[in-house]
Amino acid sequence: MLNSVLAVTNNFGLRVKFALVLIPITLVALFFAGSQILSQRDDSSQLGRMQSLADYAVTASNFVHESQKESGATGVFVGSNG
């Protein structure tokens, strides 16, 4: 089997032999590069969603803080028989 493959490749020119070696390596490199790009794109998308949730958390925290201040003021007013 191997001898028949070697016999066939002996008839190929140098350019064809280089192509037979380099094309599979290039395809594998492109596959891994593409998978890395897709992974980074997904990470970027998740970071965008986290940013919007963090912005919401700041807004909610400010609302809770203001509510607590209002509750304290109401307590002082009621406590003073106002």
Sorted by where each begins, the domain ranges of the chain are 20-67
Please tell me whether residue 69 adopts helix, strand or coil conformation.
Answer: helix
pTM to 2 decimal places:
0.52
Q: How confident is the model at residue 57 (pLDDT cuts 50, 70, 90)?
A: very high
**Element housing 34 (H / E):** helix 14-79
- pLDDT one-digit tens code per residue, 21-38: 999 999 999 999 999 999
- 5, 17 Cβ separation under 8 angstroms: no
| pLDDT of res. 35 | 96
User: Of 26-30, 42-46, 66-70, which has the strongest mean pLDDT?
Assistant: 26-30
In the predicted model, is pLDDT for residue 8 greater than 90? no
Distances (CA, A) of 82 to 17, 69, 75: 96, 18, 10
* Side-chain half-sphere exposure of 15, counting CA atoms within 13 A: 0
- Counted residue by residue, the chain has a size of 82
